[in-house]
Amino acid sequence: MKRFILLSLLFSCMMIAVVNAQEKRKSFNIEKPSIRAFLPDSNLATGRAIVVCPGGGYEHLALEHEGYDWAPYFNKQGIALFVLKYRMPHGDPSIPVSDVETAIRLVRDSASVWNINPDDIGIMGFSAGGHLASTVATHCAESSPLSFQILFYPVITMDRTFTHMGSHDNFVGKEATEEFEKKYSNEKSVTKRTPRAFIVFSNDDTVVSPENGIRYYSALHANGIPAVIHIYATGGHGWGIREDFRYKKEMLDELSAWLRDF
């Protein structure tokens, strides 16, 4: 209980629920934004942590298959998982971005409480949540430095020619200027300080074009940032960790191998 009290005092705007690897999931009645922590058994803990941004087109959140359901996979590898329930932007990008930055700061500043290495924190995002994750990875290197990013079928760009227009309209607004769109087209914001990346798409994704991932990978590669991209033959969009994704085993094996590389 002391953990909850301490962290609530430090971050009064971010409520927290904690779930150990062997416990039944539980949560509090909380207001947005909120974060749910899934901690590995202490004998498995590596100190690594991941903050997760579920997708949903910046209008809702797929909290289960793009959030909570990932906890067993990561906890078995000794990785702590923090699933973020972020606020919707309604045309103001600073709203969800500030929620992610607060979550990262919470995890880092409370590293000793969570048994986490403050220098081994990454971010994971799905679809629009992948855009949010890559926005923080590219725009907040000084304020919220990250060690790595994991992006599943992410919206990367706000370029109207190949973005997801629902995410675009909800994030920057329907009447966004070209300059504002460019600012949040993250393939244009990669620097030498952008963290390494694992990017995944399905070739037949008709919701978010794989071109988003390809251009982001190309920008990372051009800047000398370690990155991999996997494009599976089929799967469409939004599969997360669902059992009906044909390449689930291959995808998880590839991700586990990548995580062991650093």
Give the global pTM.
0.91
First to last CA, the chain: 34
- The two beta strands, 34-39 and 80-85, are antiparallel
Q: Write out the H or E segment, with its range, that includes residue 105.
A: helix 94-109
**Whats the size of the chain, residue-wise?**
262
Helix (H, G, I), strand (E, B) or coil at 139: helix
Question: Residue 34: its pLDDT value, please?
Answer: 95
Asked if the model's pLDDT at residue 31 lies above 90, the reply is: no
Task: Give the residue numbers spanning the domain of 170.
Answer: 2-260
Residues 89-137: tens digit of each pLDDT: 999 999 999 999 999 999 999 999 999 999 999 999 999 999 999 999 9
For 24, other C-beta atoms within 10 Å of its C-beta total 6
For 143, other C-beta atoms within 10 Å of its C-beta total 10
Q: Domains in the chain: how many in total?
A: 1
Asked if the model's pLDDT at residue 230 lies above 60, the reply is: yes
State how far the alpha carbon of 124 is from the alpha carbons of 6, 143, 154, 238, 255, in Å. 26, 18, 10, 14, 12
**From CA 136, how far away is CA 129, in angstroms rounded?**
11
**What residues pair up with 85 in beta bridges, in sequence order?**
34
* DSSP secondary structure letters along 54-74: --STTTS--TTTTTGGGHHHH
Q: For position 155, which CATH number holds?
A: 3.40.50.1820
Question: Residue 140: its pLDDT value, please?
Answer: 94
